[in-house]
Amino acid sequence: MNELEKMYRDIQPKVFAFFYIKLGDRALAEDLTHDVFYAAVKGFPSFAGDSSLSTWIFSIAKNRLKKHFRSKKYTAGLTEQLSNEESPTPSSPEEIYILKEGSRDLVAHINKLEPPLIREIVILRIYAELSFKEIGRLIGKSENFARVTFHRTKIRLKKEMRVSDE
C-alpha cells in the first residue's frame, strides 16, 4: 500500500485538476477525486501492472466522470450552474493554481476544443501531466497520435489566444 500512498500524494492534485477543469465545480471535483482513490484502494489488489499506476488511476477517473455525466445529479446540477452567473472564488491551493493569470482564458479555449478527444488529450497532458504513451493507452490510440494531436492543438491554441488578446 506504500506505493499507492505515495502515488496519492503525487497524483491527487492532478486528478482534482482533471475533474475541476472538466466540471468547474470545486466540491464536485473533490468528491469525484475521493471516489477515484477509494476505488483505487479497493481495486489495488487486482492491479495487474499492465500500465503505470498513474494511467490506471486516470482510467478510473475517466470512468467515474462518465458515470457522473450519466447520472441524474449531473443534469440537475448543470441546470443550476447555467442559472448561476457568479464565478467561483479560489479557496484552495489547487484552485489558486488553476485560476492564476491566463488560466481562465486557457481553460475557456480548451473547453471549446472539438472533437472531445482533442480536449481530452490536452487536459490529460497539461493538467494530469501524463506521458503521451499513457494518454495513448487511456484513449485507445497510439502514443504518436497523442503526441501529434497535442502538438497541433497547442499551436492552434497559441494562435487563437494571441488573436483574442489583441
Q: Which domain holds residue 63?
A: 1-87
Residue 115 has φ and ψ, to the nearest 5°, of -70, 170
pLDDT at 108 over 70: yes
* pLDDT number for residue 80: 55
Residues 2 and 83 in one domain: yes
Confidence of residue 86 (pLDDT cuts 50, 70, 90): very low
Distances (CA, A) of 124 to 12, 75, 132, 151: 14, 24, 9, 13
Q: Do the beta carbons of residue 150 and residue 117 sit within 8 Å?
A: no
**Does a structural domain hold residue 164?**
yes
Residues 153 and 122 in one domain: yes
**Residue range 82-90: average pLDDT?**
47
Q: Quote the CA–CA distance of 32 and 36 in Å, as a whole number.
A: 6
Residues 117 and 140 in one domain: yes
Number of domains in the chain: 2
Amino acid at 119: R
* pLDDT number for residue 157: 85
Residues 72 and 153 in one domain: no
Residues 142-162: b if buried by 16+ CB within 10 A, e if exposed? eeebbbebbeebeeebeeeee
The domain boundary, picked from 64, 87, 110, lies at: 87
pLDDT in tens, 62-73: 999 888 877 756
Residues 115 and 140 in one domain: yes
Residues 80 and 105 in one domain: no
**Does a structural domain hold residue 26?**
yes
Residues 4 and 75 in one domain: yes
Q: Quote the CA–CA distance of 106 and 110 in Å, as a whole number.
A: 6
Confidence of residue 126 (pLDDT cuts 50, 70, 90): confident
Residue 5 has φ and ψ, to the nearest 5°, of -65, -45
pLDDT at 136 over 90: yes
CATH for 166:
1.10.10.10
* pLDDT number for residue 83: 45
**Residue range 17-28: average pLDDT?**
88
Q: What's the whole-model pTM score?
A: 0.59
CATH for 8:
1.10.1740.10
Q: Which of 19-23, 31-35, 90-94, 133-137 has the lowest mean pLDDT?
A: 90-94
How high is the mean pLDDT of the chain? 79
CB proximity list for 75: less than 8 A, separation 6 or greater: none
